[in-house]
Amino acid sequence: MKLLPVKLLMLTVLLCTLSCGTVDYEKKYPRMVANADPVPAGTVELQLNKILSPKLTKINAQVIFYPRFNAAVLEFRYEMIRYRLFWDLESRKLFVDALEQYKVDYAARNLSNRYRKTRAIYGKTNIRLEWELTAYTKTRVAYPVIEIGYRFRDKLPYLSILLQSALEDPDETDDSRPSESAQYNIYFIRAQADELVQLFDQNYLMSLLGGIHSPQEYDEEAPVDPYYETE
């Protein structure tokens, strides 16, 4: 009988521990459309600047849907670093609108070979960026500006995304100096951009979840948080 209070105390501590460790997902991820792990959505070809060369190199990038962020993530490796670009509803719409205007300008032969004027001609926004060297190294997070426009390379006009450099978000557990993400361009021909638009479609992404129910009704007109809460 004397052991009973001790057992009760241990049970109370255990329950408190479990309660304190419970994650409030809707508070942590305010744009969450389903409490589900990331799911692959497809692959898309794109071009990047070739290392130590004026030429472009073509790669296959993965598109992965992150339901807790309600973001389509473009994931690829470049210069030994793995990058993830989180495209929320707002930034995806910007890309779709940019492609449509680019097609209009292309058809009208209204394209200028002055990159300083055209690199952000279709708009710009902030985007969540993650990068890491390997799966076993620290994942760093920043919110750089991306500029959407077009650029001539080898006499061909590509729809382009300029990913500006940005300091990583401060980490309270890390006293080291914050790293800075690299600045580089991503290039698409029209067919590649069309494929990415299909993978960016919200209805398509939601269909990947099957029978998983959303914690809140999806609303295309709802305001989108420019940054994500991750802590």
Smallest CA-to-CA distance from 210 within 75, 65, 105 is with: 65
What pLDDT sits at residue 52?
Answer: 79
* Mean pLDDT within 93-99: 98
Q: Which residue has the higher pLDDT, 129 or 28?
A: 129
Task: Write out pLDDT tens, residues 50-95.
Answer: 987 889 999 999 999 999 999 999 999 999 999 999 999 999 999 9
The three-class DSSP label of residue 101 is helix
Task: Write out pLDDT tens, residues 114-167.
Answer: 999 999 999 999 999 999 988 788 899 999 999 999 999 989 999 999 999 999
Residue 179 has pLDDT above 80, yes or no: yes
Strand partners for 152: 157
pLDDT-derived band at 26, boundaries 50, 70, 90: low
Q: Which residue has the higher pLDDT, 59 or 224?
A: 59
Please, are residues 118 and 112 in contact by the beta-carbon 8 Å criterion?
Answer: yes
Strand partners for 71: 66
What pLDDT sits at residue 27?
Answer: 73
Name all contacts of 163-170 with Cβ < 8 Å and 24+ positions apart: 163/85, 163/127, 163/129, 166/129, 166/142, 167/142, 168/140, 168/141, 168/142, 169/141, 169/142, 169/143
Residue 177 has pLDDT above 70, yes or no: yes
What pLDDT sits at residue 140?
Answer: 94
Share of the chain above pLDDT 70, in %: 77
* Mean pLDDT within 13-19: 44
All structural domains of the chain with their residue ranges: 24-207
Residue 228 has pLDDT above 80, yes or no: no
Residue carrying the six token digits 């060297």 = 133
- Mean pLDDT, the chain, rounded, equals 84
Residue 6 has pLDDT above 70, yes or no: no
* H/E element, 191: helix 190-200
pLDDT-derived band at 22, boundaries 50, 70, 90: low
- Cα dihedral angle (182, 185, 51, 188), rounded to 10 degrees? 150
Q: Assign 3-state DSSP to the chain and report helix, strand, coil percentages, each to 5.
A: 25, 30, 40
